[in-house]
């Protein structure tokens, strides 16, 4: 079993839809949770960063962490074609240097 599970998709939705992406994990020591967006042939860019449980909102993006269920989510409201990319969840434990990544979900927003 992988430490972090993420459905690779692909996921295709119409423009304007609400997109829900999620990851599950097995390591209860994870405290830092991140979502990265990666366009084709580019490096990942940080979208959202959350420490421990709770919600965080930034514009059209909302990140949720439920540590009791070991489940994290990223919601994208009013999705745009420019949101088409691969979304990677990543997490790390307190004091750990390394990030553990999910497999990434390929998302396409259709105009």
Binding site for another protein (CB under 8 A): 8, 32, 34, 36, 41-46, 49, 88, 90, 97-99, 101-104, 106
Question: Minimum distance from CB of 16 to another protein (Å)?
Answer: 27
Question: Minimum distance from CB of 83 to another protein (Å)?
Answer: 18
Question: Minimum distance from CB of 44 to another protein (Å)?
Answer: 5
Q: How far apart are CA 81 and CA 32, in angstroms?
A: 29
Q: How far apart are CA 48 and CA 85, in angstroms?
A: 15
Question: Minimum distance from CB of 1 to another protein (Å)?
Answer: 16
Alpha-carbon dihedral angle through residues 79, 83, 88, 89, given to the nearest 10 degrees: -30
Q: Closer to another protein by CB, 8 or 16: give it.
A: 8
- Which run of H or of E encompasses 3? none
Q: How far apart are CA 37 and CA 88, in angstroms?
A: 6
Q: Closer to another protein by CB, 5 or 17: give it.
A: 5
């Amino acid at each position: 079993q992988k430490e972090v599970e993420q459905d690779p998709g692909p996921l295709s939705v119409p423009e304007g839809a609400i997109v829900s992406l999620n990851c599950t994990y097995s390591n209860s020591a994870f405290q830092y949770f991140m979502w990265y967006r990666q366009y084709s042939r580019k490096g990942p860019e940080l979208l959202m960063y959350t420490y421990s449980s709770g919600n965080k909102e930034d514009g059209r993006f909302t990140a949720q962490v439920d540590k009791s269920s070991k489940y994290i989510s990223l919601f994208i409201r009013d999705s745009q074609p420019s949101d088409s990319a691969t979304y990677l969840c990543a997490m790390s434990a307190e004091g750990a240097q390394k990030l553990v990544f999910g497999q990434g979900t390929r998302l396409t927003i259709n105009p």
